[in-house]
Amino acid sequence: MKYPIILTILFGSLGLHGENLVTNPHLLPSNGEPDGYILEGDTTYSDLTRLRKETTGHGIRLLSGKDINKDKSIVGSVSTTVTTGIPQDSGRWLRFRIRGLAQEGFRVENDELYLKAGFFAQNGKVPLDHIQTRIYGLIERERNDLRDPGTNRKLGPATWRSYSLDFRTPFREIDTIRLTAGFSNGIGKGDNAEFLINEIELIPIPTPLKYASTKSPPPLVNTSLKEMIHIGGRWYYNPGDGSRKLPELFNHRNADRLIYASNRPIAPFTNNMTSWLRAGWVDRNGKIADKDRFVPDNLNIRITGDSLAFHSRNLPNHPTAIFPDIHRAVDGNPNRIQEKDNTWYIPLKPRENKDRKAMDKRNTNRALPQGPIGLAVNGVIFFNPFDHINEADAVWRMDRCCGHPSPTSAYHYHKYPVCVKTPWRDEGEEHSPVIGFAFDGVPVYGPYEAKGELAKSSRANPLNDFNIHHDEKRGWHYHVTPGQYPHIIGGYWGKIDERNRRRPPARNNIGPRPPGQRPGGRRPPQERSRRIPSPRIR
Ligand SMILES: [Zn+2]
Ligand SMILES: [Zn+2]
């Protein structure tokens, strides 16, 4: 049986979603083994943090360049079995998602890197069917499309991102699902010929839009919006079967009720409002955490007047490099990542800005301030491309999730954060989804304009200097432009809420410069003598 891979999802048809059915999603060890997982072939398990100098935790390495078990073929996989929480009726949708990173040397022939879900009955004894998707083509495409020549050379261009397989349970009898991520025909070379995995999930999802009904055409966006409560601009509240009164607060429990009318209704913050305060990071009281702590309210949203008020602790919910960067894995950034108490306001309805201007090549016109200019759907802030005035851009200073902490210990992105786990796929098959909002309330979309077309190279609807363009369904919207200035936004298209400016200036990061890199501007003297603190990370 063959299922198509699904790109679009409809919200609201199944109510709340997001509970992970995998019992050990972070691959934690028990007696040195990943509890609940089976490794086969040329696959190893270790603490990737120690290996990669990132806050990655434990994980799997699929080795495409080494026949470590000497069976004369380069093949490997990791799998886990799910037996609880499987829907009791057929036709329910689930998403098998991994967080993975394909190092530059990772190579396979015939597209043989795959995600697979196998279905079993009678307590897992009787195999019934399976569904599988190959993801190597996506990796090759992104190596090309998202390439940024400014990336830190030591780290290389690889980034952490989500890969997923959406499927529906084919039979009622299923009591066991086996999830496998694996490869064969490995032809990688060198030490970095590996694919890393540090997170595995199986979550129930709403029925994808085009499968909501097989008998009639998919419902029009306007029809489903009609059942929702209009908040303002393109924002809606979806009450589902519940109260039609607007909730006081949107958090991780009801994030899927806060709807933004893109080309279809979407819930931008779903599964993105919680995070972890990692060991070595600093809490709000200035104390360095000695162990990982779950933070359920990393992002909360209130509707106040004609604004959305975001309360964000600004903790990235994905791997980061280890900061302070005492190993000089990146640029020797001396700052830690700190939990913040940020409040940001964006207008529900973007307001026209008649005085708008875009940054010139070095932002000498100060069209965008230093410091925060918007936020991603996980609550982490966007900065302009510059770390300090006149530097070409800060791309080379960032970790493999496209971020780093500022001197005020605020983690931030200067370019497309591929690691941000949006509630949607963004795999270059159609126009990208929303990945965040600028402070003027205008949405920021991912890099693609259409299948096979990056927005930065669109001829039919080119981006202007603000990195913005207009289409009928989405209105005005920014796009991120990998490898191309200004990377996120080039200036505010709309008016921003002045409350976002009334805070202590958050300076962009000023760290040491790699040898051979020429400064474009002068660094303030007090920054020049900054020293990396002695190692005391954990
Ligand atoms: Zn577009
Ligand atoms: Zn920075």
Q: pLDDT category, 367, cuts 50, 70, 90?
A: very high
Range with lowest mean pLDDT among 46-50, 191-195, 534-538: 534-538
Burial status of residue 493 (CB atoms within 10 A of its CB: 0-12, 13-18, 19 or more): buried
The torsion defined by the Cα of 374, 209, 472 and 271, in degrees rounded to 10, comes to 0
> How far does the centroid of ligand 1 lie from the alpha carbon of residue 261, in Å?
14
> How far does the centroid of ligand 1 lie from the alpha carbon of residue 457, in Å?
11
Is the pLDDT at 69 greater than 50, yes or no? Answer: yes
Q: What is the C-alpha to C-alpha distance for residues 227 and 241, in angstroms, rounded to an integer?
A: 11
Q: For 434-438, what is the mean pLDDT?
A: 96
> How far does the centroid of ligand 1 lie from the alpha carbon of residue 456, in Å?
10
pLDDT at 420 (0 to 100): 83
Give residue-wise pLDDT tens across range 275-290: 999 999 999 999 999 9
> How far does the centroid of ligand 1 lie from the alpha carbon of residue 449, in Å?
5
* Nearest bound ligand to the CA of residue 407: 2
Average pLDDT, rounded, for the chain: 84
> How far does the centroid of ligand 2 lie from the alpha carbon of residue 56, in Å?
21
Q: Which of 241, 231, 270, 245 is nearest to 10 (CA)?
A: 270
Q: Cβ(401)–Cβ(378) under 8 Å?
A: no
> How far does the centroid of ligand 1 lie from the alpha carbon of residue 465, in Å?
14
CA angle 468-272-438, nearest 5°? 25
Around ion ligand 2, residues with a beta carbon closer than 5 Å are: 387, 394, 508-509
pLDDT at 209 (0 to 100): 55
User: How much of the chain, in percent, has pLDDT values that exceed 90?
Assistant: 59
Of residues 326 and 4, which shows the higher confidence score? 326
Of residues 425 and 257, which shows the higher confidence score? 257
Q: Cβ(27)–Cβ(45) under 8 Å?
A: yes
pLDDT at 212 (0 to 100): 44
Is the pLDDT at 198 greater than 60, yes or no? Answer: yes
> How far does the centroid of ligand 2 lie from the alpha carbon of residue 318, in Å?
17
Q: For 90-94, what is the mean pLDDT?
A: 81
Give residue-wise pLDDT tens across range 374-394: 999 999 999 999 986 456 677
Is the pLDDT at 525 greater than 60, yes or no? Answer: no
Domains and CATH numbers, the chain: 29-204 (2.60.120), 306-511 (no CATH)
* Nearest bound ligand to the CA of residue 460: 1
pLDDT at 19 (0 to 100): 78
pLDDT at 362 (0 to 100): 87
Burial status of residue 187 (CB atoms within 10 A of its CB: 0-12, 13-18, 19 or more): middle
pLDDT at 208 (0 to 100): 64
* Nearest bound ligand to the CA of residue 444: 1
User: Which residues are CB-neighbours of 276 under 8 A, at least 6 positions away?
Assistant: 292, 293, 294, 295, 315, 317
> How far does the centroid of ligand 2 lie from the alpha carbon of residue 378, in Å?
18
Give residue-wise pLDDT tens across range 35-55: 999 999 999 999 988 777 788
Around ion ligand 1, residues with a beta carbon closer than 5 Å are: 449
pLDDT at 503 (0 to 100): 55
What is the b/e burial string over 191-201, where b = at least 16 CB atoms within 10 angstroms of the residue's CB? Answer: eebbbbbbbbb
Q: What is the C-alpha to C-alpha distance for residues 138 and 418, in angstroms, rounded to an integer?
A: 13
> How far does the centroid of ligand 1 lie from the alpha carbon of residue 385, in Å?
21
Residue with tokens 């980034």: 159
Of residues 521 and 96, which shows the higher confidence score? 96
Is the pLDDT at 500 greater than 70, yes or no? Answer: yes
* Nearest bound ligand to the CA of residue 463: 1
pLDDT at 449 (0 to 100): 97
pLDDT at 51 (0 to 100): 75
pLDDT at 388 (0 to 100): 64
